[in-house]
Amino acid sequence: MTVLSGFLPIWAITALGWAAGRFNVLGSQAQHVLGRFAFAFAMPALLFLTLSRSRVSELVSPGVAVFAVSLLIVFTVGLLLGRWVFRRRRADRAIGAMAGAYVNSANLGIPIAVHVLDDASFMIAAALFQTLFVTPLILILIDLDVRREARDRRRRILQLPLRNPIIAASAAGVTVAAAGWRLPDGLTAPVQMLGGAAVPAALFALGMSLSARGRRATADGRTERRVLVGLKIMVQPLLAYALARWAFGLGGHELYAVVLCAGLPTAQNAFIFASEYQLNTDLARDAVLLSTLLSMASLSAITWLLA
């Protein structure tokens, strides 16, 4: 029940989004507008507050190193599969690799960590790694493909933190944390209110996308979804276990925390990024839903075996 309790709010909000889309409560453009709102305003506010109140030094630990290595290996496998097996363009390869490796460490991981691990510090450190290192990599891959007609790619990469609100807010939050500044409550209160809408808006937009009646996935599309969800739910936690146990010598609670974090489902950010850049959202949407559903069983198994 402790793992299930972390999923219930997510499924409830997603179901409300589906109902709103199914019965056209908010209009035909609501999904796009909510996705844009989450990407441009709510998520940056949430990331800024989270990072500004964290300790960057928490990234330096054996457990976070194991999580980082396992994520990067699976992410690289996802990129290679997207190129050589599924023949996707670069931007869609980045979304596919994200679907197979990028964990839902914030709105799902932290509640689970509080209920199951009794400590959210490791999950926050994992979220820091993803936000500071993996997210910029994904957005660079997407941006250089979507904007491939741009002449000066190097300048576009350097300007990405200024043009992308997710990266800009993350960089600002890390700067505040590294400097040791404590922002006044009057300044952070509106940012906190705005950040509080990030997870509901993203999940609501995700739920609305489920009501869209599109073409059925091709056989290759179904295969790709199964492979990516398999990477996320099975391969990544098993790889994290092997690295933690035999390469880093971790055990006990630290081993359990690493494997539980690696076994988290795909973050809904994959859907938001695909929607923002007008890429194929079906793959990201299905990966988020299938991995979240299956992880209810896999996370319970990890807890039963390692707790």
Report yes or no on 162 lying in a domain: yes
Give the chain's radius of gyration (CA, Å): 19
Question: What is the structure's pLDDT at 215?
Answer: 45
Cα–Cα distance, 9 to 24 (Å, whole number): 22
Quick: pLDDT tens for 235-259. 999 999 999 999 999 999 999 999 9
Question: What is the structure's pLDDT at 214?
Answer: 46
At residue 124, does pLDDT exceed 90?
A: no
Quick: pLDDT tens for 136-194. 899 889 988 887 655 565 666 666 666 678 878 888 988 898 888 888 988 899 999 99
Report yes or no on 87 lying in a domain: yes
Report yes or no on 178 lying in a domain: yes
Report yes or no on 19 lying in a domain: no
- The pTM (predicted TM-score) of the whole model is 0.80
CA angle, residues 170, 173, 175, in degrees to nearest 5: 110
Those residues whose C-beta lies under 8 Å from the C-beta of residue 185, and which sit 6 or more positions away, are none
Cα–Cα distance, 38 to 33 (Å, whole number): 9
Q: What is the dihedral of CA 188, 191, 192, 193, to 10 degrees?
A: 130
Question: What is the structure's pLDDT at 205?
Answer: 87
Quick: pLDDT tens for 55-110. 777 667 899 999 999 999 999 999 999 999 999 999 999 999 999 999 988 667 87
Q: Which amino acid is at 144?
A: L
Cα–Cα distance, 74 to 236 (Å, whole number): 6
CATH code: domain of residue 44: 1.20.1530
Report yes or no on 22 lying in a domain: no
Report yes or no on 20 lying in a domain: no
113, 126 in Cβ contact below 8 A? Answer: no
How many separate helices (H) and strands (E) can be counted in the chain? 17, 0
Q: What is the dihedral of CA 151, 166, 19, 3, to 10 degrees?
A: 130
Closest CA to 245 of 62, 13, 120, 86: 62
Structure tokens at 122: 């490791």
> Which residues, listed in sequence order, are joined to residue 103 by a DSSP beta bridge?
266
Report yes or no on 122 lying in a domain: yes
Question: What is the structure's pLDDT at 62?
Answer: 93
How many domains are there within the chain? 1
Q: What is the mean pLDDT of residues 196-218?
A: 73
Cα–Cα distance, 208 to 195 (Å, whole number): 21
Structural domain of 254: 2-12+29-209+217-306
Q: Is the torsion defined by CA of 113, 123, 74, 154 positive or negative? A: positive
Quick: pLDDT tens for 21-60. 989 999 888 988 998 898 889 888 988 888 888 777 766 7
Report yes or no on 262 lying in a domain: yes
